[in-house]
Amino acid sequence: MWSWFRSLFKRESPTPASPPARGTVKRIVRDRGFGFIRSTDGKEVFFHRSALVGMDMGALSEGQKVEFVLENSPKGPRASRVRVVR
C-alpha cells in the first residue's frame, strides 16, 4: 500500500553522461577557478574548480594527466568529476 509513497523518497545515484575519459590539463586560470583539458581525441573541454574531486586548484598543474566524465552543458561540453591519474 505504501510502496508508491516510499518510491518518492528512494534515492538513486545520478548516472554519468559518459564513461570516464582521459586527457591532459592544457590551461588553468587559477584566479577565475576554471581551466581546459585536452582529451585524448584532441578536443578541448572546459572544467570548473567545483568539478575537481579530492583536490583544489593549487594541486593541479598544466600538463598533468587527468580522468574526467564528459557532460553536456548549455554552453557545450564540460568536464566533471575531474581527478588526477597516478
74: CB partners within 8 A, 6+ apart: none
61: CB partners within 8 A, 6+ apart: 25, 28
* pLDDT for residue 19: 78
- Give residue for cell 570548473: 48
CATH of residue 50: 2.40.50.140
* pLDDT for residue 4: 56
Asked if residue 4 is part of any domain, the answer here is: no
- Give residue for cell 585536452: 38
The domain total for the chain is 1
What residue numbers bound the domain in which 80 lies?
16-84
What is the block-wise mean pLDDT of the chain (86 residues), using blocks of 10 residues? 57 56 96 95 94 91 95 90 92
pTM over cut 0.85? no
What radius of gyration do the chain's Cα atoms show? 16
The C-alpha atoms of residue 17 and residue 63 are separated, in whole angstroms, by 25
Asked if residue 72 is part of any domain, the answer here is: yes
